[in-house]
Structure formats: C-alpha cells, structure tokens
C-alpha cells in the first residue's frame, strides 16, 4: 500500500517562498493523479494543485502564477513550490494521490504553512 509523507512547511514572511515535498513509500507511477489540498482555520478544504502521471497540471485560480506542482517519478516524490506567499495562504497542506484503476486514494498527514504579514 502507498503511504504519503509531507515535509517542508514552516513559518515565512509575506512575499517569501516555501517548497513542500510529498514522499511516497511506493512508486508514484502507480497513482494516476496526485495533488495538494489545503485547509485554513475556519475554512473548507480546497484543492490547490494537481498533476497527472503524464505531467498535466492544474491549479486553483487563487494560486496561479505563484505555485508550481511537479512530479519526480524516479524519486517517488511530488513537490509544491510556493512563491510570493500571502497571509491567506496560511493553512495545513495535505498531499493526496488516486489510483484510478482500483479507486483507492491516499492522504498524507499534512504539513503546516504559516505566512506572516
């Protein structure tokens, strides 16, 4: 079974950058799509970015031009490069993956991102 572990969160000033990593215990090639969700205090969880096995990416409108998702199949890891961070980006960020052939999904435990003014 696949296990996902996020890292790279922390405290950063507005305008700064962070790079989140999500390492999988198995081959991420087995996952058709992977992505990053976030949930801020008092708000619903939202999809921030996703990437398919073939490298197709999509982004929430609020992060377009600032965040970049990437996938390294050789390292079984996906990343979320976050630039020009804003206080409203403060949230817990979760890595997820879906194996379409089996209908199984997998979630990491989350990593905290705090952006100060």
DSSP sequence for 53-112? TT--EEE-GGGTTTEEEEEETTTTEEEEEE-S--GGG-EEEEEEEEETTTTEEEE---EE
Q: What is the pLDDT of residues 16-36, one digit of tens each?
A: 999 999 999 988 888 889 999
Residue-level pLDDT at 31: 86
Residue-level pLDDT at 101: 84
Residue-level pLDDT at 28: 83
Spatial separation of the C-alpha atoms in residues 94 and 32, rounded to whole Å: 17
Residue-level pLDDT at 59: 98
**Buried (b) or exposed (e) across 21-50, using 16+ Cβ within 10 A?**
bbbbeeebeebebbbbbbeeeeeeeeebbb
Q: Which residues of the chain have pLDDT under 70?
A: none
Residue-level pLDDT at 94: 98
Residue-level pLDDT at 27: 80
Spatial separation of the C-alpha atoms in residues 54 and 62, rounded to whole Å: 24
């Amino acid at each position: 079974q696949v296990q996902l572990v996020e890292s790279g969160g922390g405290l950063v000033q507005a305008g700064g950058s962070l790079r989140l990593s999500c390492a999988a215990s198995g081959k991420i090639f087995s996952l058709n799509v992977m992505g990053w969700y976030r949930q801020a205090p008092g708000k619903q969880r939202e999809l921030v970015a996703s990437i398919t096995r073939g490298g197709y990416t999509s982004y929430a409108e609020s992060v377009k031009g600032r965040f970049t998702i990437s996938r390294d199949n050789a390292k079984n890891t996906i990343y979320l490069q976050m630039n020009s961070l804003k206080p409203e980006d403060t949230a817990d960020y979760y890595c997820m993956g879906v194996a379409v052939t089996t209908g199984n999904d997998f979630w990491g435990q989350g990593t905290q991102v705090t952006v100060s003014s």
